[in-house]
Amino acid sequence: MTNSASYFPMKAVCSALFSWGLISGLLANIAIAKNQDVSSLTDSQVHIQTATDPFSPVIAAEYLPKNIIYLIGDGMGPAYTTAYRYYSDNPQTNRVEKTIFDQLLVGMSSTYPDDDTYVTDSAAAATALATSYKSYNGAIAVDHQHGALPTIFEIAKAQGKTTAIVVTSQINHATPASFLAHNESRRNYDQIADSYISNLVHQRPIADLMLGGGTQYFVREDRDLTLEFQEFGYQYVDQLTDLNSISSLPALGLFAPKGLPAAIRSDDPLRLTTMTAKALDLLSKQDAPFIALVEASQIDWCGHSNDITCAMTEMHDFAKTLELAKRYVDAHPDTLLVATADHSTGGLTLGRDGTYQWQGQLLHQVHSLPRSIAKLIINTPDVLNDLNTFSTFLRPHISIDIEDKKLDSLRWKLNSRLTQHKAEQHITDDLKQAIDKLTYTGWTTGGHDAIDVPVYAYGKGALYFRGHKDNTEIAATLIQMVQDERYKQTSSF
C-alpha cells in the first residue's frame, strides 16, 4: 500500500517549489474549491468526504480563526494520556479527575507514512502535519523525488502572518524542521540549520520566533548562524534564564547544545510551559495574526528509552502548556487550539504480567532518572557494598518502599553489571525495569508503533477536527484556515 496522493489538491506545484517566485503561484494553485454546501452551525457544517474524495475542507467564514496554536506531543499515544490521568489523580477523592487532555479530546488520528509499514517516524509524520502530504520515513517536507512540499508556515508567512516554534528538542529536529525546511534526510542537521537562514519568504526567514535547543548546530566552527540571524534583526539569547530579556520579535533562543535537559532534571521542570508563555506574550503584541508550533519533543525520547518516570514528567509539562494555551484561547476567542501527536512510541501498557493494576502514583516517589542514578553508581560503586548502604544511597532518588529482599536482589544484580561492557546502560535498564515492575508498567518496543493518536481542539473552528482524521486531514484543514483568513499585510520587521 502506498499513499502518494495528497489530501490537499496541489500536486502540480510540489516538485518545483522554492524559488520564491513560485510561492505566490503556490497560494493560488493550492486554493480549495468552495462549491460544497455548509448547511448549519452543527456537525453537519463539516463537509463529509467519501472514501475516494480528496480531502477538501470548506470552512465557514464565522469559524475562521485569526490565530492558531498547533501543539504536538511527540510520541504521545493514547496510553500516555491515560497514564497521565492516573498519575495526576488525587488519591484523596473518590473519582478520578479529568485532565486537560480529557477535557479537550475531540477525536483520533491515523499516522501511517507513504509506504506499506504503517509505522511512521517523526519526520514523515511531521511532514504530513505540516504540508498535508504523506512521504517516506526520514523526509523533511519533501516527496519521494525530494521535491519540496509547501508547509503551513511558508503559506502563513507568504500572507504576512507571524510564525513561531517552541520545542524542547533542538529547533532543527524532525518536527520543527518539517515546518521550516526541506531536506531528503532528517539526519542532515547542519544542512537543515543552514536552510533556516536561506529558505526565505518576502526575504525573511520563515519563523519569526524560535525557542528550543541546538547551539551545536547553529554555532559551528565553519559558520555562526546566530550572528546571521542577528543581521536579520533577531534578538538572540542562549540561556533560558534570560528568556524574559527578549522584548520584541524577531527573536531566537537556543538553550542547550541539543535538546533541553529533561523535565525531571531541569532547573525549570515546566520549561515548555515557560517558553510557550513568553511566545504567546510576544505574539500577542504583533498586529498580524499568528501561527505557533509548540512541541513536547521529549515525550518521544522517554518512550524510546522505555522510561515511564521520564514520560510522566514530560507529560506534566505538556499538560501545563496545554492548560496555558486553553487560557489564552479563553482570553482571545478568535484563536484556535489544535493538539495531537505525530505517532505513539514504545508500545506503552498500563498493567503487566497478568496483574490487574497500575501503580502510576508511585512515580511521584521517583525523583531522578534511572540513567542519572546509574551514572552515580558507576562513579561511586561502593554504594552497592551492602543493603544498608545501597538503601541509604537510593532513598533520595527512589523513595518507594521496597521489601528488603527485593531491594537486595536489585543490589546484587547492579553489582554484577559493574564489570560488564556498557555497564552504565545495563544498570540504567535494570533500574527502569525495577520501576516498571513496581508500577506494573509494560512496553513492547523501543521504537514507534502504529496506534492511532488523540486529537484535541478548542476555540474558533474546533468543530472541524471532530471524529477520526488522518494526519494529512488535520494539516489540510489548518492550511485552508490559514489561506481563508485573509490577512494580507506583507511588511517585514
Q: What is the overall mean pLDDT for the chain? A: 90
Annotated catalytic residue 122: yes
Confidence at residue 57, expressed as pLDDT on a 0 to 100 scale = 84
Decide if pLDDT at 26 tops 70.
no
Query: Across the chain, which distance is largest between two alpha carbons, in Å?
Result: 77
Could you tell me where the DSSP H helices lie in 105-142?
122-131
pLDDT exceeds 60 at position 186: yes
Please give the average per-residue pLDDT across 18-38, as a whole number: 37
**Are the CB atoms for 42 and 48 separated by under 8 Å?**
no
Residue 47 or 440, more confident: 440
pLDDT digits (tens, 9 = 90+) for 391-403: 999 999 999 999 9
User: Residue 171: pLDDT band by 50, 70, 90 thresholds?
Assistant: very high
Distances (CA, A) of 13 to 6, 94, 488: 12, 57, 22
So what's the pLDDT on residue 3? 45
Question: CA 118, CA 55: separation in Å to the nearest integer?
Answer: 20
What tens digit of pLDDT does each residue of 72-86 get? 999 999 999 999 999
Bigger pLDDT: 12 vs 130: 130
- pLDDT per residue as tens digits for the range 299-332: 999 999 999 999 999 999 999 999 999 999 999 9
Options 6, 56, 122, 178, the catalytic residue: 122
- Bigger pLDDT: 12 or 123? 123
Question: Distance between CA 411 and CA 378 in Å, rounded?
Answer: 13
Residue linked to cell 518576502: 202
Q: What is the pLDDT of residue 54?
A: 54
CA distance 34 to 56: 9
Q: Which residue has the higher pLDDT, 41 or 226?
A: 226
Which comes out higher in pLDDT, residue 49 or 296?
296
Instruction: Count Cβ atoms below 10 Å from residue 180 Cβ, excluding itself.
Output: 26
Cα distance between residue 488 and residue 420, in whole Å? 63
> Distance between CA 36 and CA 59 in Å, rounded?
10
Residue 474 carries which side chain, given as an amino acid letter?
I
Question: What mean pLDDT comes out for the span 267-296?
Answer: 97
**Could you tell me the pLDDT band of residue 42, with boundaries at 50, 70 and 90?**
very low
DSSP states along 427-477: HHHHHHHHHHHHHTEE-S-SSEE---EEEEEEETTGGGG-EEEEHHHHHHH
Give alpha helix (H) positions in 132-214.
152-158, 174-180, 189-198
pLDDT computed for residue 31 by the predictor = 36
Rounded mean pLDDT, 458-476: 97
Q: How far is CA 60 from the centre of its chain?
A: 29
Q: Is the pLDDT of residue 158 over 90?
A: yes
Binned at pLDDT 50, 70 and 90, residue 427 comes out as very high
382 — pLDDT class (breaks 50, 70, 90):
very high
Distance CA 358, CA 316 (A): 18
Q: Helix, strand or coil for residue 100?
A: helix
State the Cα–Cα distance between residues 55 and 61, nearest whole angstrom: 19
pLDDT of res. 487: 64
Candidates 166, 268, 174; CA nearest to 207 is 166
Render pLDDT for 324-365 as a digit per residue (tens, 0 to 9): 999 999 999 999 999 999 999 999 999 999 999 999 999 999
Number of Cβ within 10 Å of residue 24's Cβ equals 10
Q: Indicate the pLDDT class of residue 268, thresholds 50, 70 and 90.
A: very high
Position 55 scores a pLDDT of 73
Report the chain's C-alpha Rg in angstroms.
23
CB 215 within 8 A of CB 257: yes
Relative to beta strand 162-170, strand 290-296 is parallel
Residue 168 pLDDT > 90, yes or no? yes
Residues above pLDDT 70, as percent of the chain: 88
Compute the average pLDDT of residues 265-276: 97
3-state secondary structure of 391: helix
> 177 by DSSP, 3-state: which?
helix
Q: Is 263 a residue whose pLDDT tops 90?
A: yes
Beta strand ranges found along 153-281 (DSSP E): 162-170, 200-201, 204-205, 209-213, 235-237, 251-254
Give CA–CA dist 124/130, Å, rounded. 10
Res 468 pLDDT > 50:
yes
Please state whether beta strands 448-449 and 344-345 pair in parallel, antiparallel, or not at all (unpaired).
Answer: antiparallel
Alpha-carbon distances of 172 from 140, 151, 460, rounded to whole Å = 10, 15, 30
Phi/psi at 260 (5° precision): -65, 160
> Model pTM?
0.89
Parallel, antiparallel, or unpaired: how do β-strands 290-296 and 67-73 relate?
parallel
